[in-house]
Amino acid sequence: MRFEELPTPCYVVDEQKLEDNLKILNGVMKRTGCKIVLAQKAFSMFALYPLIGKYLSGTTASGLYEARLGHEEMGKENHIFSAAYREDEIDEIVSICDHVIFNSFSQLEKFKGRVIAGGKKAGLRINPECSTQTGHAIYDPCSPGSRFGVTQEQFRPDLLDGVTGLHFHTLCQQNADDLETTLNAVEEKFGEWLPQMEWINFGGGHHITREGYDIPLLEKCIKRMQDKYGLEVYLEPGEAVALNAGYLVTTVLDTVKNGMDIAILDTSASCHMPDVLEMPYRPPLIGAGEPGEKPYTYRLGGQTCLAGDTIGDYSFDKPLKEGVRLVFGDMAIYTMVKNTTFNGMPLPAIAIQYKNGDCAIVREFGYHDFKMRLG
With H, G, I as helix, E, B as strand and everything else as coil, classify residue 106: helix
Contact at 8 Å (CB) between 178 and 168?
Answer: no
Of the CA atoms within 13 Å of residue 368, those in its CB half-sphere come to: 2
| Torsion angle, alpha carbons of 190, 193, 199, 204, to 10 | -10
Separation of alpha carbons 55 and 23, rounded Å? 7
Handedness of CA 10, 16, 20, 25 (dihedral sign): positive
Helix (H, G, I), strand (E, B) or coil at 28: helix
- Amino acid at position 275, single letter: D
Q: Does 239 belong to an annotated binding site?
A: yes
Dist CA 194 CA 228 (whole Å): 9
Q: Is 153 annotated as a binding residue?
A: no
CA distance linking residue 135 with residue 279, whole number of Å: 9
List the one residue out of 335, 131, 151, 153 whose CA is nearest residue 244: 335
- The letter for the amino acid at 27 is G
How many C-beta atoms lie closer than 10 Å to residue 341's C-beta?
A: 17
- The values of phi and psi at residue 280, to 5°, are -85, 170
The annotation places the binding site at 239, 275
Binding residues for substrate: 239, 275
